[in-house]
Amino acid sequence: MENPSVLRRELVDIHGVPLFWCIVEEWSQVESFEARPDDILIATYPKSGTTWTCEILDLIYNNGDLEKCKRDAIYNRVPFMELIIPGQVNGIKQLENIQSPRLIKTHLPVQLLPSSFWKNDCKMIYVARNAKDVAVSYYYFYQMAKLHPEPGTWEEFLDKFMTGKVCFGSWYEHVKNWWEKRKDYRILYLFYEDMKEDPKSNIHKLLEFLDKDLPEETVAKILYHTSFNVMKQNPSANYTTMEKDAMDHSVSPFMRKGISGDWKNKFTVSQYEAFEEDYKKKMKGSTLQFRSEI
Ligand SMILES: *[C@@H]1O[C@H](CO)[C@@H](O)[C@H](O)[C@H]1NC(C)=O
């Protein structure tokens, strides 16, 4: 990056949610983003299968044409709406220049989503992943993606995760509030663990939600192309086209493991017990159910 001072800075709160300082500085641009009625929003808490889902959707929208989907890096094909880094990236501006129908990525919690999405009744796809795997994956991601503050030790990071003091705030609030919102809007709520277990039926769910129809051989092609090992080797999906200063894959690759249940390699027994106890309190009253392994 040209300007190293953008890296490793503390997060700043906006309406009680910690975000990258540079997003907060340009918040008025995000707030006034103009959604179009045919926009498709892909909303996730970080590390929940976002890039995977974006790649599947871009392939669906291009009828499985692999060459078309290698036209550019995933973060240019499906812009990250709220990401604004001065002089480098502006998701809002990128989207203004994209033809409809646009695929839009966001990590915003429901209450921070620009109101134009609700007014236009846009279709939205939310992908949720179990908390323990997200926490572990987010810890490795903090280490390699240096727009985040330093993660500290795993113990310290886990505490920040549990108290919502990480970028995009509380996982618990994020998944619960999007879950509630699906009752009133066109939101397809998917689970990472289901996608892992049965990717084919999830592609069919997406097709149905999007009123699209693709021949089975195209679905098979999309399945192959979006399997973890193939995506990991795809330079237009594996983020290695990002500058090394901003994302250091030698610390931990962006596509790390792509499995469910990896938290077992990281949580100690006492961390697990404390986490579960706290989880019950935070998720009390919600009908949302996760699987922590498959
Ligand atoms: C990304 O894809 C390129 C091209 O296939 C490959 O050489 C590289 O090893 C991949 N990087 C990571 C970190 O997976």
Instruction: Determine the 3-state secondary structure of 35 from DSSP.
Output: coil
**pLDDT beyond 70 at 1:** no
Cβ neighbours for 246, distance < 8 A, ≥ 6 positions apart: 1, 7, 145, 146, 147
> From CA 277, how far away is CA 271, in angstroms rounded?
10
In this structure, of 3-12, 95-104, 222-231, the range with the lowest mean pLDDT score is: 3-12
pLDDT in tens, 42-69: 999 999 999 999 999 999 999 999 999 9
**pLDDT beyond 70 at 97:** yes
Distance 221 CA to ligand 1 centre (A): 20
pLDDT in tens, 23-36: 999 999 999 999 99
> From CA 258, how far away is CA 19, in angstroms rounded?
25
Give φ, ψ of 92 to 5 degrees. Answer: -65, -50
- Residue holding tokens 């078309």? 68
* Nearest C-alpha neighbor of 20 from the set 6, 5, 2: 6
**pLDDT beyond 50 at 232:** yes
Residues with CB under 6 A from ligand 1: 232-233, 235, 238, 240, 249, 253, 255
User: Tell me, what's the pLDDT at 83?
Assistant: 98
Distance 233 CA to ligand 1 centre (A): 5
pLDDT grade for 245, boundaries at 50, 70 and 90 = confident
**pLDDT beyond 90 at 40:** yes
pLDDT grade for 3, boundaries at 50, 70 and 90 = low
pLDDT in tens, 130-185: 999 999 999 999 999 999 999 999 999 999 999 999 999 999 999 999 999 999 99
**pLDDT beyond 70 at 95:** yes
- How far CA 205 is from CA of 198, 209, 218, 288, in Å, comes to 11, 6, 15, 19
Distance of CA 260 to the CA centre of its chain: 16
Instruction: Determine the 3-state secondary structure of 189 from DSSP.
Output: strand
Atom of ligand 1 nearest to the CA of 255: 14
For ligand 1, mutation pick of 228, 232, 252 (most atoms within 8 Å of CB): 232
Distance 174 CA to ligand 1 centre (A): 31
Which tokens is 80 given?
A: 């990250």
Active site amino acids:
107
Atom 13 (ligand 1) nearest CA: 253
Atom of ligand 1 nearest to the CA of 232: 14
Cβ atoms of residues 22 and 84 within 8 Å: yes
User: Tell me, what's the pLDDT at 6?
Assistant: 87
Atom 10 (ligand 1) nearest CA: 233
CB count within 10 Å of CB 265 equals: 8
**pLDDT beyond 80 at 237:** yes
**pLDDT beyond 50 at 112:** yes
- Residue holding tokens 């190293």? 4
For ligand 1, mutation pick of 238, 239, 247, 248 (most atoms within 8 Å of CB): 238
User: Tell me, what's the pLDDT at 240?
Assistant: 94
Give φ, ψ of 189 to 5 degrees. Answer: -100, 115
- Mean pLDDT over each residue of the chain, to the nearest integer: 96
Domains and CATH numbers, the chain: 4-283 (3.40.50.300)
**pLDDT beyond 70 at 2:** no
Distance 118 CA to ligand 1 centre (A): 38
